[in-house]
Amino acid sequence: MTDTAKQIQTQISDNSVVLYMKGTKEMPQCGFSSKVAGVLNYMGVEFADVNVLADEAIRQGIKEFSDWPTVPQLYVKGEFVGGCDIITEMTLSGELDTLFAESGVAFDKDAADKIREANT
């Protein structure tokens, strides 16, 4: 395992929810990262953000680690969940609520319901 892969493994092991993104949760640097961070922030999910723009090794390494070609990438309890499209679909279907609940991740159910109501 490379040093970068070890660093990624540590990040996803040490945090219940990790979002590898362009920018930060306070200042996303692309629309896809902004959308996923916005959902997590709105739902009140505590998550670690890793700015792939700040570290080229992480930017490439996360793609190899997950075998997923794009960023953002969401991890919950050490498991890769998906990118923007998958997170959007899971939010709208309620699957993300279920994943968080089953994983013991705190979130605001009312906020999640409001996202779905606004998108029906």
User: CA angle, corner 33, sides to 17 and 115, nearest 5?
Assistant: 75
How far is residue 1 from each of residues 61, 63, 117, measured CA to CA in Å? 11, 14, 44
Question: Do residues 78 and 13 lie in contact, with contact meaning Cβ atoms separated by under 8 Å?
Answer: yes
Is residue 120 pLDDT above 90, yes or no?
no
Runs of H (alpha helix) within 46-108: 56-66, 84-93, 95-103
Q: What is the tens place of the pLDDT at every residue in 8-60?
A: 999 999 999 999 999 999 999 999 999 999 999 999 999 999 999 999 999 99
Other CB atoms within a 10 A radius of the CB of residue 56 amount to 10
pTM: 0.96
pLDDT for the residue numbered 85 = 96
The rounded Cα 13 to chain-centroid distance in angstroms is 14
Question: Residue 32 CB: number of other CB atoms within 10 A?
Answer: 18
Domains annotated for the chain, with CATH where assigned, are 3-118 (3.40.30.10)
Is residue 78 over pLDDT 90?
A: yes
Unique residue bearing structure tokens 């919950």: 76
